Structure 1
C-alpha cells in the first residue's frame, strides 16, 4: 500500500466503556457502546460511518451495520495480530481515508477478557486459539508451555543472558504505571496502591515474571473514529488529533519464537524507523509515549528496539523518574494494560488522543504536542503511530 501523506488523516472521535472485572454485557454490546461514543465524540451520526476496521474476535461487519445503523458501508477489514491490531487498525484506517476508499472509518477493540475467554480460567469454555496453533499444540503444549508468560520468558531470559541487564527496570515500569493509574478515574487499579515492597513480595510465576509484571484481564471496549484531517476540522466534535505517521512490522518466523534467527528481534524494530522517517521527527522530540505493556519486560524491549537506547540499556533509561509525569518521557500515563485495563491496547490510543487534546485530567502532560503509541502482538508483531495536535 502506498505511503500516505502525513497529516492527511486525523482521529476525530474516541469512545470507551467502563473497564470492569465482571459484566452482564456481551462483548458485542461493549463494542457497540464504545463505537457509539466515538461517533458522538466526533460529532457525527453513527449511521454515517462508511468504513470499519475490527481488531477483536468479537463481531462482524454485519453486526456493526445493524448495531450502528450504517447505511453505506464502503470498506471493512479484520486485523488479527493480537495486541498490535488496534494501532495496525489505525494504520489501515489512515490509508483508507487518504485513498478515498472511505471517509469515516471506525476502529474498535474490546472483549470480555475477564468474564469469558480468561487465560487463567480452569472451567471449560472457548479455547483460546493462538497464532501458529499447530506449533503450539504439537511442539509446545506437550512440554507444558501453554501461556504467554512462558513463551515470553524465553525471550526475556535470553535478553538477560546476552546483555546482563538489570532486573530493576521491570519494577520501575510496574510502579510507574500503577502511580499513573491512581490519577485516572477510568483505571481498574485507580484506588489500589502498590509499593516496592508489594512488588518484591508478589509471587514469581515464570522466571523472570512476578505476578505484578503481568497485565490485567478485564472486560471493556474502546473505539476511535478516523477521518480526513480537513473533514475532522469541520465535523463540530472535539478538536482532532492528527496522524503524523503509522507503520507496522513483523519479526522473522513470526509464530516460531524459539527457532527465530534472533529471538530478540521484534516487529517494532522494523516499524519504528519507517514511522519516524514518515513523520520527520527525532525520538527526543516526543512529549510522551504510550507503550504496549502486556508485561513490564515488553515495555523495556520496545524502548530498545524503537531506538531510545541500546539492547540491555532500558533499565537505566527508565530510571530516575524519566518515565514519570514531569519526567523527560512520561510513559503510559493512563496506567496501561498493567494498571488501567487490557483491551488489546486501544486504550493506549485513546489516552494519546486525550493527552493531545489536553483532556487527561490529573495525568495531563504539560504542553503535550507530540506523542507515540505502540502495539505489540502475539510473538513480536509490532505497530506504531505518531500523533500530534
Structure 2
C-alpha cells in the first residue's frame, strides 16, 4: 500500500560523540540519550515535541517516561522495550516502532540506545543474580568473548575457517573507520602484522577480533512514508523488520550453551533471515550493502552464511576472497567501521550507517546502493534484522 500507514520510513538519525569506555564524563548517560534524540528530530526537520512513541532494547536505563518530561513531549502514546541484553534487540527496536506506527498507536516514534558503562554497570560482566550465568561461570565462561569463542572455534573445526578469515573482518572494518571522522578508531590504521601480533583474548579471538567498549548514544526517528515525504531528509523505507530465535537457544552462548548441535556454529539468524526476505519479497542477491553486527569477528562469518550470501561452512572463504571490502567486494559491510572500529552502542550505529548509505551520505559510500541489510546481535537470543531501501 503506497503512502499509507503501512509504509514506514526512517526520517531522522542522531548520535553523540563516541569515546572509549569511561571517556565521557561531562554528561550523564541520560543526557547523551536526550542529545541523540534531539539531533535525530532536528535531522528530520521535526520538533522533539512531535515524538509520541519510544522504543529501546537491552534494558536501556534511559526510561521513556522520564525522557518524555526531559524533552517536553506533551503526549506519549507508545513505549516498548525488547527483551535480552547486548545488541540482539537493536533492529528489533525498529521493528517495535514499525508495529506501533502501522497499528496507529503512535504517529512519530524514536528508537534509541544510550550506553555509558563507566557511569552505570558493565555489560557482559559475570552476574550470579542472573540464573543462567550459574551454568557457565563454573567453567570459566565469565565474559561474552569467552562464551562466543567456543562457537567460533567450532566453526573452524567443522569447516576449516582460518585465523586469516577472522583477520579480514577486523582489517576491512578498520579501513572503513579510517575514512570516518566520527569513529573511535579514526586515524588508527591496522595491518595484518599488527593484528596477528596482538594478544589472544579467548582462543581463537585476538584483541582486534573483539568489539570496542564505548560511551555514546544513537537515535532513529520513524514515521509513515506519507508524512516522511514532506520532511527534511530523503526517507529510507523499512521494507522488513523481524526478531526471533531458532529452537532451543534460550540464552544461547551467554547461558546454557545448550543450542542444538546443528545450529551451534551459527549466528541464530536463519529464522530471522527467512522472515525478512519473505516480508521484503527479495533475497540475498538483492542486497547492495550490509551492516552486520560485529561484536566478535567470527560471528560475522556465520551471519553471512545464515543470511544466504554464501553456503553454510563457506563464510571464511567468502570473506577471504575480498567480498566484504568497500570499493571492490560484492557485499561491502560495516562501512562506518562497525562495532570493531567505529563504536559499540549495542548495534544502533549499524542502523544509522544503513540510513546514511541509502541517503548517499556515508564516508564509505557504496555507489548506487538502494538496499541495505542490518543485523542485530549475533549468536544471541532473541536476535533481529532489518532490510532498508531508498524511497
Measure, in 2, the Cα distance between the counterparts of 1:63 and 1:377: 31
SS of the equivalent of 1:223 reads strand
Q: Is the 8 A contact 2:52 2:107 kept in 1?
A: yes
Q: Is the 8 A contact 1:266 1:380 kept in 2?
A: no
Measure, in 2, the Cα distance between the counterparts of 1:243 and 1:194: 34
Deviations 1:134-172 (A, max 9, x none): 1213x2223321100111122112222222222321000
- Aligned residue number for residue 18 of structure 2: 19
- Aligned residue number for residue 194 of structure 2: 198
Is residue 69 of structure 1 aligned with residue 66 of structure 2? no
The two structures have a TM-score, normalised by structure 2, of 0.91
Measure, in 1, the Cα distance between the counterparts of 2:158 and 2:93: 34
Shift of residue 115, structure 1, vs aligned partner: 5.5
Shift of residue 381, structure 1, vs aligned partner: 2.9
Measure, in 1, the Cα distance between the counterparts of 2:206 and 2:299: 14
- Aligned residue number for residue 236 of structure 2: 241
Q: RMSD of the alignment, in Å?
A: 1.9
Q: 1:380 to 1:369 in 2, by over 3 A?
A: same
Q: 1:91 to 1:35 in 2, by over 3 A?
A: same
Measure, in 1, the Cα distance between the counterparts of 2:119 and 2:126: 14
- Aligned residue number for residue 289 of structure 1: 290
Measure, in 1, the Cα distance between the counterparts of 2:136 and 2:104: 45
- Aligned residue number for residue 271 of structure 1: 272
Q: Is the 8 A contact 1:7 1:244 kept in 2?
A: no
Q: Is the 8 A contact 1:32 1:68 kept in 2?
A: yes
Measure, in 2, the Cα distance between the counterparts of 1:359 and 1:18: 18
Measure, in 1, the Cα distance between the counterparts of 2:379 and 2:116: 18
Shift of residue 380, structure 1, vs aligned partner: 4.3
Deviations 1:325-380 (A, max 9, x none): 1221111000000000000010000001011011113x111111111100016734
Measure, in 2, the Cα distance between the counterparts of 1:241 and 1:256: 33
- Aligned residue number for residue 323 of structure 2: 322
SS of the equivalent of 2:114 reads strand
Q: 1:323 to 1:378 in 2, by over 3 A?
A: closer
Shift of residue 180, structure 1, vs aligned partner: 0.2
Measure, in 1, the Cα distance between the counterparts of 2:287 and 2:184: 27
Is residue 308 of structure 1 aligned with residue 305 of structure 2? no
Is residue 110 of structure 1 aligned with residue 114 of structure 2? yes
Q: 1:336 to 1:136 in 2, by over 3 A?
A: same
Measure, in 2, the Cα distance between the counterparts of 1:97 and 1:280: 21
Q: 1:378 to 1:28 in 2, by over 3 A?
A: farther
Measure, in 2, the Cα distance between the counterparts of 1:8 and 1:53: 18
Shift of residue 63, structure 1, vs aligned partner: 1.3
Alignment of 1:40-59 (within 5 A): 40-56=42-58, 57-59=60-62
Shift of residue 302, structure 1, vs aligned partner: 0.7
Q: Is the 8 A contact 1:15 1:223 kept in 2?
A: yes
Q: 1:271 to 1:34 in 2, by over 3 A?
A: same
Is residue 86 of structure 1 aligned with residue 83 of structure 2? no
Shift of residue 119, structure 1, vs aligned partner: 5.8
Measure, in 2, the Cα distance between the counterparts of 1:319 and 1:380: 28
Q: Is the 8 A contact 1:248 1:268 kept in 2?
A: no
Q: 1:196 to 1:265 in 2, by over 3 A?
A: closer
Is residue 342 of structure 1 aligned with residue 344 of structure 2? yes
Q: Which runs of 5+ in 2 are unaligned?
A: none
Q: 1:313 to 1:300 in 2, by over 3 A?
A: same
- Aligned residue number for residue 217 of structure 2: 221
Is residue 379 of structure 1 aligned with residue 377 of structure 2? no
Q: 1:119 to 1:75 in 2, by over 3 A?
A: closer
SS of the equivalent of 2:384 reads strand
Stretch of structure 1 that moved more, 161-170 or 180-189 = 161-170
Q: Which runs of 5+ in 1 are unaligned?
A: 121-126
Q: 1:380 to 1:300 in 2, by over 3 A?
A: farther
- Aligned residue number for residue 141 of structure 1: 137
Q: Is the 8 A contact 1:88 1:384 kept in 2?
A: yes
Alignment coverage as a number of residue pairs = 375
Deviations 1:285-339 (A, max 9, x none): 2110000000001111111111111222111111233211122111100000000
